[in-house]
Amino acid sequence: MNIVSLFYLAFVAVVALAYFITPRRFRWVTLLIASIANYLSYDLKLAVWMLVTSISIYTGGLLIERQEQKYAAQLKAQPDLDRADKRALKKQNERVKRRYAALVAAINIAIWVVFKFADLFITTLNKYLSTGLSLWHLVLPLGISFYTLQAVSYVVDLSRGKCEVQRNYFKLLLWLCFFPQMLQGPICRYRETAPQLYEPHDFDYRRVKFGMQRMLWGYFKKLVIADRVVTISERVFGHSGEYQGLVFVIGALAYTIQIYADFSGGMDIIGGAAEILGVYMPVNFDHPYFSRSISEYWRRWHITLGAWFREYVFYPLSISRGAQKLTAACRKRLGPNMAKMLPTYLAMVLVWILNGIWHGAGWQFVAFGMYQGILIVLGMQFEPVFEWIIAKLKIRTDCFSWRLWQMLRTLALIMGGRIIFKASGLYEALRIGWSILKIHNIWIFTDGTLFKLGLNAWEMFVLFVAVLVLLTVSLLQERGVHIREAIERQNLVFRWALYIGAIATVILLGVYGPSYDAAGFVYAGF
């Protein structure tokens, strides 16, 4: 069910109504029925993979719980164990629980890998070994890249003792396929979201109003900005052979705006729908384009994905025995400081390669991930050098201009990453990058080229004003202003003028074109 449709709005309204009139005990069942109906509305056959995942984590959870009970019984039966024996027993318990978690995680990741990479693997085999195998053309089960990560987080958290087991299969299924966030996240941790799903929420006018406002803001971002600016990015990157130099900067800027308005707009629609039902989704965006470094940017962009990689890949790798051995082995050759940092840097680059692969099957996504990882590592490694230069040149760093410079520099680096991401291939991305560096066709800003990229002067004006509105709201939020609460404090006439104006803007200025389907959301394609 497309979340940018009148049908979806009606669906949310009907589910909310049904939810609030259902007896409190069974309200979670209403959410489950709605979520299953929503999933099946996309594809009946592919729903089987969601079933496999849910059953696997349910079984894994029960096995981990059984092991925990066994361990407790062993401790109780042997009260006289000395400290060393107790420690050994604890270690063994942890080992068994982690094995169960690893098995379930491996099953689910294997399913995801097959669906996502089978054709890439076959293409590579055919290319280098001339195997002549035919492609599988598998259709990715909807939301698999998101719910697989959630599924893994559940069993791993259980094995680490960070959440309680869910003994009711249907409740666990609800957490995995909760309808607003199933398609494009956010990636929810069980202990944070699940209790909110099971707890009955009563109708609360203020909360429902806030939820609807957030949805409206999401539709504004998606329909007025993302689906308008997409014309420019598609034009530039889809016909990159026709352009050169600064036109690619315009294209990259357009794509940078598009992907933010698209993804964060989707999060607002999803978060708003969930809020109406009394469920608060984790924050996925914290005004990332105001970041002053790449590492800060990634703490503010797609926060739940970053947190997942940090918790389940980066931390375990960085403090593993292997990392300690590597440090010890490199100490003599690299010195104590570099030897300590090397495993962390390697883990970081690996995490970024995986992050890149998560976004798509292809070498350019590996390059996209490596680009981010290398920038972060270089930024850290050369920080003392930068500080030395700043001190030598006596540059003031406690002023607005310095912060602005840092933001613009970070934005330029992000746009570099967007070019790798959006170009038709890695070679093309390099060619575009080279063209930007080599050709300085500044006259494109005056010779009318900008209006030949798919949007006429009026459309450009609408886009400019809409982006200005987005920037103003973001700046206010960045300064700690709570927009919805601020609106609430205004007079009735002003409030309703604002609501009607916003709805009219979305209806009249929203772009309802070819991207008027679920696949129109960039991240729904992952």
Partner 1 sequence: MDELLKLLSEICPKVDFVKEKKLIDDGILDSFDIISIVNELNEHYDIEIDVDDLEPENFNSVEAMLELIHTLQNE
Which residues make up the interface to partner 1 (CB under 8 A)?
A: 83, 87, 90, 94, 160-162, 295, 299, 310-311, 314-316, 318-319, 324, 327, 340-341, 344, 348, 380
Nearer to partner 1, 241 or 384 (CB): 384
CB of 192 to partner 1, least distance (A): 13
CB of 358 to partner 1, least distance (A): 18
Residue 335 is given by DSSP the state: -
* Cα–Cα distance, 354 to 301 (Å, whole number): 16
Q: Are residues 27 and 200 in contact, defined by beta-carbon separation less than 8 angstroms?
A: yes
Burial of 354 (0-12, 13-18, 19+ CB in 10 A): middle
CB of 216 to partner 1, least distance (A): 30
* Cα–Cα distance, 521 to 264 (Å, whole number): 10
Per-residue tokens: 439: 């050709």
Q: Are residues 253 and 233 in contact, defined by beta-carbon separation less than 8 angstroms?
A: no
CB of 310 to partner 1, least distance (A): 5
Nearer to partner 1, 220 or 314 (CB): 314
CB of 318 to partner 1, least distance (A): 4
End-to-end CA distance of the chain: 17
Nearer to partner 1, 362 or 379 (CB): 379
CB of 80 to partner 1, least distance (A): 17
Nearer to partner 1, 125 or 390 (CB): 390
Nearer to partner 1, 238 or 322 (CB): 322
Residue 443 is given by DSSP the state: G
Nearer to partner 1, 311 or 459 (CB): 311
Nearer to partner 1, 94 or 428 (CB): 94
Q: Are residues 470 and 478 in contact, defined by beta-carbon separation less than 8 angstroms?
A: no
Per-residue tokens: 108: 């689910």
Q: Are residues 252 and 411 in contact, defined by beta-carbon separation less than 8 angstroms?
A: no
Nearer to partner 1, 118 or 334 (CB): 334
Length of the chain: 526
Give the residue carrying structure tokens 């956010």. 186
The secondary structure element, H or E, covering residue 470 is helix 457-478
Considering only CA atoms, which of 525, 463, 392 is closest in space to residue 231? 463
CB of 367 to partner 1, least distance (A): 23
CB of 478 to partner 1, least distance (A): 14
Nearer to partner 1, 341 or 502 (CB): 341
CB of 320 to partner 1, least distance (A): 8
Burial of 54 (0-12, 13-18, 19+ CB in 10 A): buried
Greatest distance between any 2 Cα atoms in the chain: 87
Q: Which amino acid is at 287?
A: H
Nearer to partner 1, 74 or 168 (CB): 74
* Cα–Cα distance, 469 to 495 (Å, whole number): 17
CB of 319 to partner 1, least distance (A): 5
Considering only CA atoms, which of 333, 193, 259 is closest in space to residue 525? 259
Nearer to partner 1, 316 or 425 (CB): 316
Nearer to partner 1, 121 or 402 (CB): 402
CB of 156 to partner 1, least distance (A): 9
Q: Are residues 98 and 159 in contact, defined by beta-carbon separation less than 8 angstroms?
A: yes
CB of 301 to partner 1, least distance (A): 14
Vertex 431 angle, CA 427 and 432, to 5°: 120
CB of 348 to partner 1, least distance (A): 8
Considering only CA atoms, which of 102, 101, 107 is closest in space to residue 63? 101
DSSP 66-132: HHHHHHHHHHHH-TT--HHHHHHHHHHHHHHHHHHHHHHHHHHHHHHHHHHHHHHHHHHHHHHH---
CB of 383 to partner 1, least distance (A): 11
Residues 6+ away with beta carbon under 8 Å from 93: 67, 68, 70, 71
Nearer to partner 1, 171 or 299 (CB): 299
Nearer to partner 1, 199 or 383 (CB): 383
Q: Are residues 3 and 18 in contact, defined by beta-carbon separation less than 8 angstroms?
A: no
